[in-house]
Structure 1
Amino acid sequence: MESYNQKIEIGNLDYSLYIKREDLLHPNISGNKFRKLKYNLVLAKAENRVTLLTFGGAYSNHILAVAAAGKENGFKTIGVIRGDELFDQVELNPTLQKARDFGMVFEFISRDLYREKNSQDFKLKLEQKFGNFYLLPEGGTNDLAIKGCEEILTEADVEFDYVCCAVGTGGTISGLINCSKHSQQVLGFPALKGDFLIEDIRKFVRNQNWELVTGYHFGGYGKVTEELVKFINDFHQKYQILLDPIYTGKMVFGVLDLIEKKWFPKGSKILMIHTGGLQGIEGMNRLLKQKNQIEIRTYD
């Protein structure tokens, strides 16, 4: 499958708004995860690695994508999962269930130990237990991931004045910045609180035509509100485009709010990047149901 730009008819002739459907790239290796894994898989094969090992939380898009990519490309996969209490809860977690169905083996560790995941001692212990593996960082962001994300924009996208995307670890926006034209402005909408991502992004980018819009995290990573859920449901009903609540839903909400506030100059052509992550909706809906809150509709 391929992504394509879909026009969003917002009824405001002062702006032209499109969304790039990266969510359609692959049924299981979704959106930006497909881009991030592309060249890492090439290198893993070139190095004759047989196992991919990575890290993530209970509902991680990255964990599921690595499991699916491993199954499709002939790799064994290991997921180091944050939260040892999840050991006997896999059947209650749709993301982990699907990853296990793709053949992923889990290593559940405490949150305290998870904070040490980037240390050399921790990596050595993993190698002693699992042997030689190809290491993918949490979220998948590294130099090869950014190389893959640099392929999101094409020559057909040079007409846009603004390119907007959600930000998690900073890999996707770094790729977009590097492949954007100097005449374009890249806007990142962090799903997390805080400005620490700025320094992470600066390590990877060559251009200066970007900024982070930090007011649309809805309480922080993994947090949603009734306002956001209603927005996602209304957007889906109006445009037949489903948004995930952790990343793209927040970004699209932010862009439309900025348009309403006339933040963009008149005549602006705006492209939003749909980075996928729709698999996480089922898990989010389970949490919302437990709280007797409105759920995300996955049907028209």
Structure 2
Amino acid sequence: MPSDPPALSRLQPVLPSPLQPAEDERFARHGVRLLLKRDDLIHPDLPGNKWRKLSPNLAAAAGRTVLTFGGAYSNHLRATAAAGQLLGFPTVGVVRGDELAGRPLNPSLAQCAADGMRLRFVDRATYRAKADPAVLAGLLSDCGECVVVPEGGSNALAAQGCTALGRELHGRADVIAVACGTGGTLAGLAAGLAPGQRALGIPVLRGGFLGDAVRELQREAFGGPTGAWSLDERFAFGGYARTTPELHAFADDFEDRHGLPVERLYVAKLLYGLMTLAQEGSFAPGTTVAAVVTGQPWGAPDSSR
């Protein structure tokens, strides 16, 4: 992985991120100890896995224009735009949904624009084909020379960057769980864990493709499979950016119990999944589970639909 240039060190990330106990009888009654890995505290503008995945990519970009992809409420787009603003490099965001062009920007995209990101809206068919060389060439012909970072920031560099998350948890937990969107964090987390530890991914979207994505990322980043990991795909709550009243009620209750602002689209699904698994007896008594808190709530819409 490229070493961080001096510019990245100016961002002053909090590393390693804090690991905090969460006393919760819903876990304790099943002999499970819950810890919270507070990656949301790494940096106010590049929290959690955004820092871990973006920092090696930004080091490789070395100040050149970064082009990347995301939906209308993408945490990744906001983090990339914020990094560009803080470090002084241009950014381009390719946004899924050409119907958004010409409309007032939602708060998330407005923040991207305020941070200097040039927004390019494309139709959904084009967005799905964004990895196709011809489609990518068309985007680059419009946007000029750019360093391309994939959706969610998940590539080999990102997976390598996320190995530090696993190393920070050596000897601290038996199972380390993380919510998954594109698979890069899980791929690197598993690679960084010690023997005897395992990583658990909770996908926040439907489709059943993340297993293949994680395996491919590990192949690209590490030459092949590494570390013990698995997925439990039951807790997407309808799909990406979707929630339910049940999930909101659970998140509200968790906030009241632990004083932790619970981000709904990733973290709430992770914590709900872990509680369900504990109740099902999926963790042997005496197991310590660390939940990676990848972000805090930020102006997301109510997506209970």
TM-score, normalised via structure 2 length = 0.88
Q: Distance in 2 between matches of 1:107 and 1:26?
A: 27
Q: Is the 8 A contact 1:31 1:277 kept in 2?
A: no
Note closer, same or farther for the CA distance 1:277–1:168 as it changes in structure 2 (3 Å cut): farther
- C-alpha distance in structure 2 between counterparts of 1:277 and 1:74, whole Å: 25
Q: Which amino acid aligns with 2:92?
A: I
Q: In angstroms, what is the RMSD of aligned CA positions?
A: 1.6
Partner residue, 2:53: 36
Secondary structure at the counterpart of residue 121 of structure 2: strand
Superposition map of 1:30-179 within 5 A:
30-45=47-62, 49-91=63-105, 93-155=106-168, 157-179=170-192
For the Cα contact (< 8 Å) 2:65–2:90, is it kept in 1?
yes
Structure 2 residue corresponding to 1:234, chosen from 248, 253, 273: 253
Aligned partners of 1:43 and 1:26: how far apart in 2?
A: 20
Q: Normalized against structure 1, the TM-score is what?
A: 0.89
Q: Using the TM superposition, give the Cα deviation of residue 156 of structure 1 relative to its aligned residue in structure 2, in angstroms.
A: 5.1
- Structure 2 spans left out of the alignment, 5+ residues: 1-12, 219-224
SS in 2 for 1:55: strand
> Aligned partners of 2:155, 2:24: CA distance in 1, in Å?
36
- Which deviates further from its counterpart, 170-179 or 268-277? 268-277
Distance 1:156 1:63, change over 3 A: closer
From the superposition, tell whether residues 156 and 169 of structure 1 become closer, same or farther in structure 2 (CA, over 3 Å): closer
Give the match for residue 298 of structure 1: none
Offset at residue 277 of structure 1 (A): 5.4
The residue aligned with 1:294 is none
- Cα 1:120–1:156, aligned 2, differ >3 Å: closer, same or farther? closer
1:260 maps to 279
Count residues with an aligned counterpart: 282
TM superposition shift of 1:56: 0.7
Q: 2: distance between equivalents of 1:122 and 1:128?
A: 10
Q: State the Cα distance separating 1:213 from its structure 2 match.
A: 0.9
CA apart distance, 1:69? 0.8
Matched residues, percent identical?
37
Within the candidate set 23, 45, 49, 1:9 is matched to 23
SS, match of residue 43 in structure 1? helix
Q: CA deviation at 1:126?
A: 2.1
8 Å Cα contact 2:235/2:269 also seen in 1: yes
Conservation of the 8 A alpha-carbon contact between 2:166 and 2:190: no
CA contact (8 A) 2:167 2:194 kept: no
Q: Report the equivalent of 2:210.
A: 197
Q: Quote the Cα distance in structure 1 between the aligned partners of 2:80 and 2:172.
A: 34
What's the CA shift for 1:110?
A: 1.1
**Counterparts of 2:172 and 2:142, CA distance in 1:** 51
User: In the aligned structure 2, how far is the partner of 1:150 from the partner of 1:90?
Assistant: 39
1-structure distance, mates of 2:103, 2:53 = 28
